[in-house]
Structure 1
Amino acid sequence: MRSTTPIRTAALGLALLAGGLTACTDSSRSSTANADQAPTAAQPAAASSLVLRIGTDDGPETPAGAQITHFAEEVARLSDGSISVHPDWHAAGDGVPHWDQAVARMAARGDLDLAMVPARAWDALGVTSLTALNAPFLVDSDELTAAVVAGDLADDLMSGLEDAGVVGFGLFPEGLRHPFGFGEPLRGPTDYDGELVRSPHSRTTRAVFAALGARVTEADVDTSTQRGAESSYALTPAGVATGNVVFYPKVNSLVVNEDVRTQLSDEQWGTLNEAADRTRDWVLRTLPADNASAEEFCAEGGRIVAATPTDLADLRESTATVTASLRTDPVTAGILGRIEDLKESTTAAEPTTSCGTGGPSDDVTRLNGVYRTNITVKAFRAAGVTSEDRIQENAGAYTISLDDGTWEMAQVYATGPQKGETWHGTGSYTVEDGRLTWYWSHEDGAWTTADVAVQPDGSLRFRNHDDGEGPEFVLMSRVHFHHWRRVGDLP
């Protein structure tokens, strides 16, 4: 299991020295996260006259994290260092339900100066103008997404944010969202009926899956209870993708608290807007195309299938009521119409609809089975692992199923606040010439690799480890991938 303990940055308030701008220092407007490290708004920044704190639920290694980092760099460059943007990763804290909405509310209250929030999240706070981005099967290509966020439509999409207490000034794509079926693909409506699907909280997306007969959860992936997930090739941990089904794109919104906005000078506000525009253009230049992400997903053991024309027609028919409901809002209706017109004039690439269908290699199938291993606190410490959080999160009794390139794992925590609870995970793996590559997810660096050998009793032994997340994770992988005892065949 990977460490998901977020690494926090120090929370930074709005520190304003030049231009007569004064930040509020009321304790009700300061974040409780990292309070012991956070300078108050009255504390000056060493080299900047304006310091803005931007919050997100994501970490620095994510696509949204990269967008924030680039935006901060653009602001510093355009302002000659007079404005600094400091990220607050996982700003709302751990274990918070509806995490995206929690960050959005922090920005609206003024606990954050700026925020990066997925556009889909705002409908739960009463913002309707952005819901057109999540109308089912409307914005279904990279090309159309780019045309929407870079054109005149962007301002109209963000126009409703002021009702939530923030001002929007940037929309950044993060990728198209496909269905990923656990076990079997999710093709047509009957595959969803009565099932539980993982999807981050949003009223619109909840309505989409309800129209297909499914319930949604924002809980961690659990293949024992969930039928699949709505995700992207780069972020999904596992599952069989349906390549020609695109629900909608994920688009991140960049917002500023409305009170902070009124205190900014015209020059400062202009700098932030230009930095946002340049960041959007950078995202559009560098974000991997959906087909490129699909190719990498396939190379990492993923499998992609296609929905039939009948499946696609049935999906659209089943969810037509969602789009009809969105049209009852006059602003949304106008935006939907403009996107539909734009779609007619946009040429989109054909989606990837097949890979991994030729069957797994002999190297992969010979590992098929169910295994167990017990990882102790003592073993981690003996290996040189020093992070107590990572030890607590990874020590425990594991049951691992390997099935033609897909792994499923159940861990019973041995220590820490989750002691006795069970974590479920899934992902993919490849084996080539006896070298196992284990993908915890399809994010950059989320892999472990080791030589694997099947023992006479069927157990697995590992050696020569490496890990994409650095030296301490190599130490952890030596403990995790050591000896797995075979306990049976696949059910």
Structure 2
Amino acid sequence: MRARRTGISGSLGAVVGLVLLAATGCSGSAAADKAGGHSAAKPVELTLATPMGTSEEFESFLLNVEMLSHGSIRIQVQTDAHHQEGPDFETRLLDDVKQGRVDLAALGSRAFDSTGARPLRALTAPLLITGYDAEEKVLAAPVARRMVREVDGDGLTGVGLLPGTLRRPLGARTPLLGPADYKGRTIGEQQSQVADATLRALGAKPVAFPAGGSVDAFGGYEQQLTSGDGNRYDKNGMIATANVVLWPRPVVLVAGTKAFQRLTSDQRAVLRKAGQQAVSGSAAVLRSHEKESLGNLCRRGQKLATATPSQLAGLRKAVQPVYDQLARDRRTKEYLDAITSLVRNIPAEPTVSCKGMTSTTD
């Protein structure tokens, strides 16, 4: 689930067309146009679907495609793909890509937990990547380019990995701080085997629910603050844990293999380079949106709770079996080790706080 924002990329079922006017991948045609007056080649048109309701998290990718291709590619973005159709909404979108119903998709890496790209689970290992600085560093590193190739196969081709929102424990009426607070609670999560295993390790009862689905029956849920803001979870007694990030929700840019192979080698390179160069821009957007949503929540009187050092230690101890399970797969362990090394010396980001923000009752 995620907050809805106004504007072209946030409207329901929006179709965003990036009309690109020249061509990098068609340099021969461009040269002919300059030399002999021939018209430039018609841009290649691709469709990109996402269940996120907005293209904002990967807008930097779209802009980079425009800049790098000089017009050889036109991308139409379809939002709310399989929205509210069930907890397997991302699996359904992957099937659309495989079957050629859409050319590209942008969706959470969790969608690959049960596919041949299982090593991507390392990105959502519990309590490992806990800030946007850490996520940006990991996804800008060479290891991310290796990880995206894990997607290749079964009709899919990996294009890029971008930062996604940080998922926090949101308690319903009482906070989720240490393991004791999870025990016996029904916790909503979204189609993630890692989330399922983590919540079970904490003694909770995980229930997968669709994007846009109701959370009224849950004792808590893992979500980003932007969803808490946009969906007004604070009106239902939501209490966010300020100093716990369970995992990020990285965005995978994936293409149907047949659609990708129809592109020229230059056009394929443009898409991949556009993804690599979008990491920093996407992280900046996420930071800005979280800050905005936190301000909105705080002004509405949002309650924030803080886990004690002993509760944090208890969480880490409780989720160790999840790491043991992930490490049984050799490639997943290699990625876990690489990510751990990358984030080890990154300073902890400031705990989110409502300090200095005026409360209102709107």
Letter in 2 for 1:122: F
Matching of residue 222 in structure 1 with residue 222 in structure 2 = no
User: Residue 44 of structure 2: which of 29, 46, 50 is its match?
Assistant: 50
- TM-score under structure 1 normalisation? 0.61
Letter in 1 for 2:302: G
Letter in 1 for 2:136: A
Residue 97 of structure 1 aligns to a residue whose secondary structure is coil
Aligned equivalent of 1:143: 133
Matches within 5 A, 1:201-350: 201-217=191-207, 218=209, 220-223=213-216, 225-236=217-228, 237-238=233-234, 239-288=238-287, 294-350=294-350
Shift of the alpha carbon at 1:291?
6.3
Structure 1's unaligned 5+ residue stretches are 13-17, 20-45, 362-429, 432-436, 438-491
Are 2:168 and 2:245, in contact at CA under 8 Å, matched by a contact in 1?
yes
Residue 221 of structure 1 aligns to a residue whose secondary structure is coil
Are 1:144 and 1:343, in contact at CA under 8 Å, matched by a contact in 2?
yes
Residue 101 of structure 2 aligns to a residue whose secondary structure is coil
Residue 124 of structure 1 aligns to a residue whose secondary structure is coil
Shift of the alpha carbon at 1:116?
0.1
- TM-score under structure 2 normalisation? 0.81
Aligned partners of 2:151 and 2:166: how far apart in 1? 23
Residue 278 of structure 2 aligns to a residue whose secondary structure is helix
Structure 2's unaligned 5+ residue stretches are 18-24, 27-39
Name whichever structure is richer in strand by fraction. Answer: 1
Aligned equivalent of 2:351: 351
Shift of the alpha carbon at 1:159?
2.7
Q: CA RMSD in A?
A: 3.0
Going from structure 1 to structure 2, the CA distance change for 1:54 and 1:277 (only over 3 Å counts) comes to same
User: Residue 192 of structure 1: which of 170, 182, 185 is its match?
Assistant: 182
Aligned partners of 1:11 and 1:287: how far apart in 2? 20
Identity within the alignment, % = 28
Aligned equivalent of 1:474: none
Larger radius of gyration: 1
Are 1:291 and 1:351, in contact at CA under 8 Å, matched by a contact in 2?
no
Letter in 1 for 2:152: E
Are 1:129 and 1:159, in contact at CA under 8 Å, matched by a contact in 2?
no
Aligned partners of 2:203 and 2:253: how far apart in 1? 33
Aligned partners of 1:152 and 1:208: how far apart in 2? 28
Aligned partners of 1:326 and 1:263: how far apart in 2? 36
Are 1:72 and 1:86, in contact at CA under 8 Å, matched by a contact in 2?
no
More relative contact order, 1 or 2 (CA 8 Å, 6+ apart): 2
Per-residue CA deviation, residues 270-309 of structure 1 (Å, 9 max, x unaligned), is 2212322332232133331666754553233212111111
Aligned equivalent of 1:132: 122
Matching of residue 83 in structure 1 with residue 73 in structure 2 = yes
Name whichever structure is richer in helix by fraction. Answer: 2
Are 2:130 and 2:246, in contact at CA under 8 Å, matched by a contact in 1?
yes
Aligned equivalent of 1:59: 53
Matches within 5 A, 1:398-417: none
Per-residue CA deviation, residues 90-134 of structure 1 (Å, 9 max, x unaligned), is 223652431112112211222211110101111133421210111
Residue 287 of structure 1 aligns to a residue whose secondary structure is helix
Are 2:122 and 2:326, in contact at CA under 8 Å, matched by a contact in 1?
yes
Report the number of matched residues.
325
Aligned equivalent of 1:114: 104
Shift of the alpha carbon at 1:242?
0.8
Are 1:242 and 1:304, in contact at CA under 8 Å, matched by a contact in 2?
yes
